Amino acid sequence: MEPLEILGRLVLAALCSGLIGYERETARKAAGLRTHTLVGVGAAIFAIASMISFDGPDQSRIAAQIVTGVGFLGAGAIFRQGALVSGLTTAAGLWVAAAIGMSAGAGSYWLAALGTMVTLGALYGLAAADEAIARRKVKVKSRLEVYIGDTSKLEGLFKFIRHIDPDAAQIDYKRQGDGSAVLVIACDDDKKRMLSELLASHRIVTRVQELEPRHWPQDKEEQQRHL
């Protein structure tokens, strides 16, 4: 294999994997342009070295080790904090960058180029789909500010609210110096008017005020404490 051919394969690996890394860089991920480029070039070097230095099954054995090694590298990009897991897309990007680098190093130029195009299409195109799905998981909830004169009967008020809107959530509560309190609740928009009027007639409520609506997760586990 001529030096110029080796250089061409490495440049192709760097370009293709770098494009994937650029998308991760613009998304402000820890593993960005340089990391993906190095993974792609490293995989290409391994692929070329296996072709030059070994014959027979030894070549495929090195390729298999590249897949395993990148798997461990990608695992380092995944972080978990409670139920939140981040870095999965970046880890997958590193895995794909290695595959593209291997393809370029092995001389499968069209495979490397088409693989890059499909990967970029998935990263950019599916990002819009993710945002649309995320918006569907969020709905507008109305907010009511309820002024309470007698805080000793709060449990009865909470039951009253739950009876009208089972999905109502308490998002704020402040006691006043005179023994009164202010309760802020989130409720379904179609039940806002009825809930407001019924609360205004409750014996321990002195005043009800409507606040600006706010986007609210539909998943009850992501909401504030329910009443």
Q: Which pLDDT belongs to residue 134?
A: 62
Distance CA 100, CA 115 (A): 7
Q: Which pLDDT belongs to residue 203?
A: 86
Domain 138-222 has what CATH class?
Answer: alpha beta
DSSP 167: T
Low-confidence ranges of the chain (pLDDT < 50): 218-227
CA dihedral 83, 87, 119, 128 (to 10 degrees): 50
Q: What is the pLDDT of residues 36-89, one digit of tens each?
A: 999 999 999 988 888 887 766 666 677 777 777 777 776 666 766 555 567 788
Q: What is the pLDDT of residues 11-20, one digit of tens each?
A: 999 999 999 9
For the packed helices 109-136 and 3-26, what is the interaxial angle rounded to 10 degrees? 10
Q: Which pLDDT belongs to residue 159?
A: 85
Q: Which amino acid is at 57?
A: P
Angle, CA 142 vertex, CA 136 and CA 145 arms, to 5°: 150
Distance CA 131, CA 198 (A): 37
Distance CA 56, CA 198 (A): 82
Domain boundaries, the chain: 3-135, 138-222
Any idea which residue has 């051919």 for tokens? 5
Phi, psi of 185 (to 5 degrees): -125, 150
Q: Which pLDDT belongs to residue 221?
A: 42
Could you tell me the two tokens for 67? 């897949």
Q: Which pLDDT belongs to residue 137?
A: 55
Distance CA 137, CA 176 (A): 36
- Identify the three-state secondary structure at position 154: helix
Whether this prediction's pTM lies above 0.75 is answered by no
